[in-house]
Amino acid sequence: MTNSQTKVTFLGTASAVPTAGHDTASFIINGKYLVDTGWNAAIRMLEHGFNPMNLEYLFFTHCHHDHYLGLPHLLFYLRMRQRDRPDRPPLKVVGPAEDTEKVISLAHRFLQTDRFPQLERAPDIIPLTPGESYEEEAFHIDTSGTIHPVQGLCYKFTDKRSGAVFAFTGDTAYHAPIAEHVKGVPFLIHEASFGPDNPAPGSSSGHSGAPQAATIAQAAGVDLLALIHCSEQQSQAALVAARRIFPNTIFPADGQTVTLMADGVVSAQ
């Protein structure tokens, strides 16, 4: 990888419950930044050629089960392999202020770190409330709010080396301010839980249909929209519905990589 590229690889795109070979929504940025853990992100990383020991950050969009069930597996993997990389710094976990610390603590209880102290290696937790920003070595990160039953973060990442920008919504109902937050970004990842149809007006599901995701992409003027968090059976119909509004839409396959170049060009391999 050259310094002028940012690579986003999808580890799963399913909603809530995975099927054989298709994990719930999760993806990895440049092999170092994991977004949500799906049910099985650690094993999905290995399947797609990524070493979990290279992870520096985990970002939670929000703390519903389909986005954090893989956390104990991941922490256990990192700790069991720690002897291979004793100098590896602790994982940094960024996520919604209301729930991230609780989910990490529950994962530790599940791993029984009180009985198995060799598993005790607390990650660094960086809680964010919607609207807060975070700065690290490679990326400047802005967040905004979502409409969902639990606190969620819509993230916008700016690669400080190349200027490449991309954003992902996490789970959310149609929320017009997201289009402002992601205005002009080349690449947007938006959930489409309802597939080709939008939820009924007044629905309190906290999820979007593909036409709503496409409407946000169009209003924001993005170059490429990726739909995720949609059942496999509905994915093709969702794609057709979204493309009527925003033609440059994909439904990524598991393992598919989207590359952002420094000049703003986005390519889906």
* Residues lying near Zn ion in the complex (CB under 5 A): 64, 66, 171
- Which tokens go with 250? 């994909």
- Which tokens go with 162? 């190349």
**31 or 206: whose CB is closer to Zn ion?**
206
Query: Largest alpha-carbon pair distance within the chain?
Result: 56
Q: Work out how close the CB of 269 gets to Zn ion at its nearest, in angstroms, rounded to a whole number.
A: 26
**23 or 171: whose CB is closer to Zn ion?**
171
Q: Work out how close the CB of 64 gets to Zn ion at its nearest, in angstroms, rounded to a whole number.
A: 3
**188 or 260: whose CB is closer to Zn ion?**
188
Q: Work out how close the CB of 229 gets to Zn ion at its nearest, in angstroms, rounded to a whole number.
A: 6
| Closest among 132, 127, 136 to 145, alpha carbons compared | 132
Quickly list H helices, the chain: 41-47, 65-68, 71-80, 100-110, 177-181, 210-220, 232-245
**99 or 171: whose CB is closer to Zn ion?**
171
Question: Cα–Cα distance between 37 and 65 in angstroms, integer?
Answer: 10
**156 or 207: whose CB is closer to Zn ion?**
207
- Which tokens go with 97? 């202020």
Q: Mark residue 134 as left, alpha or beta (left: phi above 0; alpha: psi -120 to 50; beta: remaining).
A: beta
Angle at 24 between CA 18 and CA 30, to 5 degrees: 145
Q: Work out how close the CB of 68 gets to Zn ion at its nearest, in angstroms, rounded to a whole number.
A: 10
- Which tokens go with 95? 């996520």
**9 or 26: whose CB is closer to Zn ion?**
26
Q: Work out how close the CB of 61 gets to Zn ion at its nearest, in angstroms, rounded to a whole number.
A: 8
Question: Cα–Cα distance between 267 and 140 in angstroms, integer?
Answer: 22
How many C-beta neighbours within 10 Å does residue 146 have? Answer: 25
Q: Work out how close the CB of 178 gets to Zn ion at its nearest, in angstroms, rounded to a whole number.
A: 15
Q: Work out how close the CB of 150 gets to Zn ion at its nearest, in angstroms, rounded to a whole number.
A: 7
Instruction: Give residue 120's identity as a one-letter amino acid code.
Output: E
**28 or 164: whose CB is closer to Zn ion?**
28
How many C-beta neighbours within 10 Å does residue 175 have? Answer: 20
